[in-house]
A = this chain, B = another copy of it.
């Protein structure tokens, strides 16, 4: 198969300039951010306004090379990478569900952003509870770690 190539469709602006100190997930993020879509893709934003939340897919452009086992932010022992949401992955594609506060032309103002400033945007999808919300699902090792850290450090990112 030929290589699978992605084209950034925009950029994510946030107050988080570096991984250390940034929230590890949108659920722990209070910050507002802006999702700025390139003009060629602006028309495709139509009708997003009715959704409370949206998925952002983006490229972890500052992540370290992946490793098969990692010590994730929420534990002190190693887990298989695919059992974590660590950014250093074979295909470093991140997904975050954020609150859609409003649209201003080809910019979306979002709440609860956990993404680093300047991150390349790959896709926007609507959040649909009937498809995406499974509140009772067991969450493996994470179920015992609910009180663990909500803020990142530099472990999964390259030095500046």
- Set B57, B59, B133, B143: member contacting A137, Cβ < 8 A: B133
Complex formed: what's the CA distance from A2 to B26 in Å? 28
Chain B's closest residue to A95 (CB) is B95
Task: From known contacts A83-B48, A95-B95, A126-B85, infer whether A8 and B3 are also in contact, taking CB-CB under 8 Å.
Answer: no
Residue in chain B with minimal CB distance to A77: B47
A43-B69, A125-B85 in contact; A135/B138 too (CB < 8 A)? no
User: When the two chains form their complex, are residues A79 and B140 in contact, meaning their CB atoms are under 8 A apart?
Assistant: no
Residues of B near A8 (CB, < 8 A) are 1, 4
Q: Are B45 and A80 in contact (CB-based, < 8 A)?
A: yes
Distance in Å: Cβ of A60 to nearest Cβ of chain B: 10
Stretch at the interface among A13-21, A116-124, A152-160: A116-124
Q: A139–B134 contact, CB under 8 A?
A: no
Whether A76 sits at the interface, judged by CB under 8 Å, is no
Given A7-B91, A69-B43: A134 and B127 interface contact (C-beta under 8 Å): yes
Query: Is A68 located at the chain interface by the 8 A CB criterion?
Result: yes
